[in-house]
Copies of this chain bind each other. A is one copy, B any other.
Amino acid sequence: MPDRPAIVRPPYVAVIGDGDPRGPDAHRILEWAEEIGQALARGGATVITGGLGGVMRAASRGALGAGGETIGFLPGADPAEANEYVRTPIATGLGVMRNLVVVTAADAVVAVGGRHGTLSEIGLALRMGRQVVTLSSWRIESDHRLGGPRMHRARGPREAAEAALRLAKQGPDLPG
């Protein structure tokens, strides 16, 4: 008789991006983030974000509206800072370093747009062995072809969500 209860957890997918997108693409970025959140939830994934505004809020809104679970890792100490679509707010107190938790907690990561904060999260995700799907986000290449990144460019939100779901089920390539 096995001691271990039959917990089968859903795949976790992080959606990362700008907390306050601006410029001509801002509206489209937020729409995409919401569609990605919705598609991930419909695909059975828990959606992880940094819990604040912009892309984090849009992705959580899409996922919660589709009946999904949403977890938000906040930089500060107050769980009430989470946006209203985060079902499980986690106050980390880590400041900038909460970004490491956002991507390490995930089985795969989707980046939608984003500035330097998003770039640092992509770098940390790859460092921690997580596959990253990008949509209108950073392009990263190596000059010397060692250690090519685990990155996948999607052309639209549906493709991004599908790729992330598939990669999340494969699981991370854990760092040595």
Residues of A within 8 A of B (CB): 3-5, 7, 9, 12, 18, 21-23, 25, 29, 64, 71, 77-79, 84-97, 100-101, 104-105, 107, 113-117, 119-124, 126-129, 134, 136-144, 146-147, 149, 172, 174-175
List of B residues within 8 angstroms of A96 by Cβ: 93-95, 100, 124, 127-128
Given A119-B127, A127-B116, A136-B143, is A100 in contact with B104 using a C-beta cutoff of 8 Å? no
Given A100-B94, A101-B94, A144-B136, is A87 in contact with B123 using a C-beta cutoff of 8 Å? no
How many of these chains are in the complex? 4
Q: Which of B22, B140, B175 contacts A138 (CB 8 A)?
A: B140
Query: Could you list 20 examples of A-B contacts with CB < 8 Å?
Result: A5-B64, A7-B86, A9-B79, A9-B87, A12-B79, A18-B146, A23-B146, A78-B172, A90-B101, A90-B105, A93-B128, A95-B96, A116-B123, A116-B127, A119-B123, A119-B126, A123-B124, A137-B144, A139-B139, A139-B140
